[in-house]
Amino acid sequence: MSRILVTGSNDGIGAEIARVLTAQGHDVIRHARSAERADGSQYVVGELSSLGSTREMAADVLRLGAPEVVVHNAGWGSKDESRPVTEDGFEKTFQINALAPLLLTALLPKPRRIVFVSSDSIVRGRIRLDDLQHEQEWSQDAAYADSKLAMTALAFALARRWPEVFSNAVHPGWVSTKMSGYAAPLTVAQGADTPAWLAVSDEPAALVTGAFFQDRKAIEVNPQAYDPWLQDALLARCLELCSAELD
């Protein structure tokens, strides 16, 4: 059995991923944004829109024991009409969805598997190294799609940098949650299925790296995510932004 960290796991898809993995006998570390949202002792608290809070969260994870698997499930999409900026000076969508998962990965010992919960919105995303923060032009949809595309490209960059680690991204589907809206057609159980499977399965289809999954199948999406030069340039830039290093 494995020790597994699942971010954003106090409700929604993340809670179901954590429940499924716990039921399978794994030692699951859950994560919530605040102590009020945490429900149990095997929780860490961290606000991913803060680099300082993300660093404190990583330290708390290590006190519970280094995870062998990390599921980066926490995500955020703005409902504001204007560009949101965090206390660190970053566009909030990008910081929560792309920068914080990378920082957390860099602060923890290298795991055996990393699962990045992405989105099919990346088909319309674009990585612009000269404007990762959407300072030139911002919209809710573009910021979300671009941040999830950046997350996916970072997953693939890690797969190339750490060939001994299974690092993949997954689209859970349009799931009925607080974030996606309750009109969505899929249940949280359906949305959690592929991420939970990728986290622990020994099936040959899951023992791959640098792939984007939907419904337990690897599919190809935005070609920018697969560009090695862009992956490396994005990884270097993001590590610089969050003052982190990778082995």
What are 72's two structure tokens? Answer: 């980066």
Q: Is 81 helix (H, G, I), strand (E, B) or coil?
A: coil
Give the span between the Cα atoms of 216 and 213, in whole angstroms. Answer: 6
Please say whether the beta carbons of 207 and 164 come within 8 A: no
Residue 35's Cβ-side half-sphere holds a number of Cα atoms within 13 Å equal to 1
Please say whether the beta carbons of 141 and 102 come within 8 A: no
Please say whether the beta carbons of 114 and 157 come within 8 A: no
Alpha-carbon Rg of the chain, whole angstroms?
A: 16
Query: 174: Cβ–Cβ under 8 A, 6 or more apart, which residues?
Result: 180, 184, 185, 186
Active site residue 178: no
* Residue of 43, 79, 110, 148 marked catalytic: 148
Question: What is the number of H-type helices and E-type strands within the chain?
Answer: 7, 8
* Residue of 43, 79, 92, 144 marked catalytic: 144
Active site residue 110: no
Residues labelled catalytic: 144, 148
